[in-house]
Amino acid sequence: MGKTIIISNRLPVQLQINNGSIEATPSVGGLATGMKSVKLEGERLWIGWSGLTKEDIPKELSPKIDEALAKHGCAKVSLTADEIDGYYYGFSNRTIWPLFHYFLEYTEFELDFWETYQQANQKFADAVLEKSGEDDTIWVHDYQLMLVPQMIKEKRPNATIGFFLHIPFPSYEIFRTLPWREEVLEGLLGSDLIGFHTYDYERHFLSSVRRLLGLEVSFNDIFQENRIIKVDSFPMGIDYDKFSNAAQEHIENPKEKTDIQKRLDEHKKSAPGTKLLLSIDRLDYSKGIAKRLNAFEYFLNRYPKYKEKVRLIILAVPSRSNVPQYQLLKKEVDELVGRINGEFSTVNWTPIWYFYRSMPFENLIDLYTNCDIAWLTPLRDGMNLVAKEYIATRTDKTGVLILSEMAGSAYEMSEALLINPNNFEEQASALKTAFTMPEKEQARRINVLQKRLSRYNVKVWANSFMDTLLKQKESPAANVAKRLTEKVLGEIVEKYNTANKRLLFLDYDGTLAGFHKDPQQASPDEELYDLLDALHSQKNTTLFLISGRDKETFTKWFLPKKYNMIVEHGVWISRNGEEFQLLEQVKKDWMEKIRPVLESVVDRTPGSFIEEKNYSLAWHYRNTDPDFGEKRAVELNETLTGLIGNDDISVLAGNKVMEIKSSNVNKGRAAVRVLSEDDFDFVFVIGDDWTDEFMFQELPDSAISVKVGLKKTSAKYYVNGPKRVRELLKNFV
């Protein structure tokens, strides 16, 4: 049984060195709880940074620290102060964090940061490689470690790797500004499963993968040359029972009151009927704290009757204070709180209580259970767990949540009052609604939310990610061929050598030659001619090039070589250097009707073009924006289906091409005709495209069918690309 290895920037343990002795205390974050509950029998190991730099740890203490961490199932990655500066404070928090939260103006593209990020990611990957074995399951967390999956996969191709991003993945328009965008995507694609909080982040990621790497994406599977990567959304839940039980305990068996609780009691006594409004966030510009303060000021001016009737409690937890932007924000928030309190305070009333610190868990519960409204207004937030925690603590079924629609959690919490944090009027109105919401209505909303949150809690979240990862590893996708291994190849060659009459069907584009943006550029090279000559001249071997291309191009390229050829999907055939003959009688009167439709699509779809063949029309869209091209293809398909009616023609969706042609012509039919002409006892067919599927399906079961590229197919085997195809064919000569 393999281990489960978790990798995150920080370990879930706090380290303290006191006069040479080491203290390690587990921190109780949501992630740690989720991980603890993953139902795996094997051992668990958490790898990450301990919070102490290499310089902080006296050499002789390092082994002791390892020992202390091992007791908590942890192992450290050693990082120097410079590495932490460049990798964590730099690239992670001055480049990726602002960019992925749509704060382009705060995003710094520094080569130094990027280089240190790579270096530090390599250290994490090395630690994983050192401490894990072949059977282990590896789960990498978050934006600080986006290159780690690929770094592990390179060294250990069979490793099972999952990656979860805790922050948003931005739209392509934002992501494309990153100078190292391809490297980051490739880093992530080392995973077998990539998880996001919401479908929107998943959709943005897939769009970038298609546009920037040109990879094929089918639903939520990404097809790389020899692997399939699954992408899915797993909205992170909370440790529901922990929050709910703590709140229950707080009400039913109050222990000695904390200072915060005493202050809250005093407030309630001195100002009964005053509502408490709560916000809790790390002090981060993405959380919209400054804007919230402005909106609060707007509210008090807009609805003055709420003056002295409401108090806003702000808990801002110090965060990343080494980064200049956070220092500026701190100053801004301090000043805003001062100004608003100065403007509105009366002898009996201060509108804002502001805490800039981290509080123990008990205090968090004091705040959650005492406040009538939680007001959370992030400008962008991957999820926002505070919103979920507030709901979990409302055991008396009162309370209202006002939540920004820019938070990932808003997708699951439509019973909250959802607001746009930039719209002050809407927020003022939501605050008013919250203050006047009848308790029955509060209870109705809370009940629905609590049911949902208690069901999809952090344990369910972690387990559903792990289950999907393990399933993905077992069977990457349905209808995918087996890889053509050396052993299978040996058996095929053996059959080839002992056969009496061999028949080979070789597709051209994407199979014998790479796929080119301009089809005219894909002309055969010397190596290919040599290979085809050798095959063609073999005794007892009938070689057919079989392609959708027009006969003029193949006449130019291959007729002098006297190879057998079938072109235009089976309309024309040429044998031993003779002129092309019609293999099928096909009509072409439908072309006049269809051509103008295609022309209008070309006019409206930059980069697309029409290829006119003797008996078919093809609309190519490989040079268009991929999403736009696909959309147009769907639209065109619909239009054509309506148009072709009784004509005996069909629309064939190829790889970035739609071809309209006579229905009784396809490569499968042509191949079967050739096959029936003689007693072949070895049939081999290879191709990369949808149009080759006709051959895979129609040739008899004894035929050896090979798909180029890992895609859904009816072929028996697959190989990676044209280079591999040539290597394979060389075994026959």
Q: Does 317 help bind ligand GDG (rule: CB under 6 A)?
A: yes
Kindly name the residue from 366, 381, 507, 689 that is annotated as catalytic.
Answer: 507
Nearest distance from residue 618's CB to ligand GDG, in Å?
A: 47
Tell me the residue number closest to ligand GDG, measured at CB. 383
* For ligand GDG, the closer CB: 412 or 698: 412
Q: Does 98 help bind ligand GDG (rule: CB under 6 A)?
A: no
Distance CA 327, CA 275 (A): 31
* For ligand GDG, the closer CB: 236 or 601: 236
Which whole-number Å values give the CA distances from 140 to 8, 10, 70, 544, 662, in the listed order?
Answer: 6, 12, 19, 48, 51
Position among 83, 136, 192, 381 found at the interface with ligand GDG (CB under 6 A): 381
Nearest distance from residue 719's CB to ligand GDG, in Å?
A: 40
Q: Does 166 help bind ligand GDG (rule: CB under 6 A)?
A: yes
Using DSSP bridges, classify how beta strands 482-483 and 502-506 pair: parallel, antiparallel or unpaired: unpaired
Q: Does 358 help bind ligand GDG (rule: CB under 6 A)?
A: yes
Q: Does 361 help bind ligand GDG (rule: CB under 6 A)?
A: yes
Nearest distance from residue 317's CB to ligand GDG, in Å?
A: 4
Q: Does 364 help bind ligand GDG (rule: CB under 6 A)?
A: yes
Nearest distance from residue 61's CB to ligand GDG, in Å?
A: 28
In the annotation, is 507 catalytic? yes
Tell me how many residues contact ligand GDG (CB under 6 A): 19
Give me 44's structure tokens.
Answer: 């668990």
Q: Does 460 help bind ligand GDG (rule: CB under 6 A)?
A: no
* For ligand GDG, the closer CB: 365 or 674: 365
Q: Does 386 help bind ligand GDG (rule: CB under 6 A)?
A: yes
* For ligand GDG, the closer CB: 185 or 383: 383
Distance of CA 13 to the CA centre of its chain: 29
* For ligand GDG, the closer CB: 180 or 285: 285
Nearest distance from residue 473's CB to ligand GDG, in Å?
A: 24
Residues 178-237 that bind ligand GDG (CB under 6 A): 236
Tell me whether residue 452 is exposed, middle or buried, using C-beta atoms within 10 angstroms of its C-beta: 0 to 12, 13 to 18, 19 or more. Answer: middle
Q: Does 385 help bind ligand GDG (rule: CB under 6 A)?
A: yes
Residues 104-143 that bind ligand GDG (CB under 6 A): none
Which whole-number Å values give the CA distances from 591 to 542, 587, 707, in the listed order?
Answer: 34, 9, 31
Q: Under a CB-based contact definition with an 8 Å cutoff, are residues 294 and 424 in contact? A: yes
How many residues appear in the chain?
A: 733
Which whole-number Å values give the CA distances from 81 to 49, 85, 110, in the listed order?
Answer: 12, 6, 18
Residues 265-284 that bind ligand GDG (CB under 6 A): 280, 282
* For ligand GDG, the closer CB: 143 or 563: 143
Q: Which stretch binds ligand GDG (CB under 6 A): 205-213, 383-391, 601-609, 610-618?
A: 383-391
509 pairs with which residues across the strands?
A: 513
The string of DSSP codes covering 412-468 is T-TTSEEE-TT-HHHHHHHHHHHHH--HHHHHHHHHHHHHHHHHS-HHHHHHHHHHH
Residues 609-638 that bind ligand GDG (CB under 6 A): none
Phi, psi of 34 (to 5 degrees): -60, -45
Nearest distance from residue 33's CB to ligand GDG, in Å?
A: 10
With CA atoms as reference, report the closest residue to 596 among 553, 548, 660, 650: 660
Using DSSP bridges, classify how beta strands 137-141 and 4-10 pair: parallel, antiparallel or unpaired: parallel
- Give, as one character, the DSSP assignment of residue 163: E
* For ligand GDG, the closer CB: 199 or 361: 361
* For ligand GDG, the closer CB: 399 or 654: 399
Q: Which residues contact 313 (CB under 8 A, 6 or more apart)?
A: 276, 277, 278, 279, 352, 353, 355, 367, 371
Q: HSE-up of 652 (CA within 13 Å, CB side)?
A: 24
Phi, psi of 703 (to 5 degrees): -70, 145
Nearest distance from residue 166's CB to ligand GDG, in Å?
A: 3
* For ligand GDG, the closer CB: 315 or 686: 315
Q: Does 32 help bind ligand GDG (rule: CB under 6 A)?
A: no
Nearest distance from residue 410's CB to ligand GDG, in Å?
A: 11
Q: Does 406 help bind ligand GDG (rule: CB under 6 A)?
A: no
Q: Under a CB-based contact definition with an 8 Å cutoff, are residues 273 and 372 in contact? A: no
If one counts every other C-beta atom within 10 angstroms of the C-beta of residue 318, the result is 12
Q: Which stretch binds ligand GDG (CB under 6 A): 112-120, 305-313, 354-362, 520-528?
A: 354-362
Nearest distance from residue 233's CB to ligand GDG, in Å?
A: 12
The string of DSSP codes covering 490-557 is HHHHHHHHH-SSEEEEE--BTTTB---SSGGG----HHHHHHHHHHHTSTTEEEEEE-SS-HHHHHHH
CA angle 601, 604, 610 (to 5 degrees): 40
With CA atoms as reference, report the closest residue to 569 among 686, 672, 690, 670: 670
Q: Does 47 help bind ligand GDG (rule: CB under 6 A)?
A: no
Q: Does 239 help bind ligand GDG (rule: CB under 6 A)?
A: no
Positions annotated as catalytic residues are: 507
Task: Write out the residues near ligand GDG by the rule CB under 6 A.
Answer: 30, 166-167, 236, 280, 282, 315, 317, 358-359, 361, 364, 381-386, 389
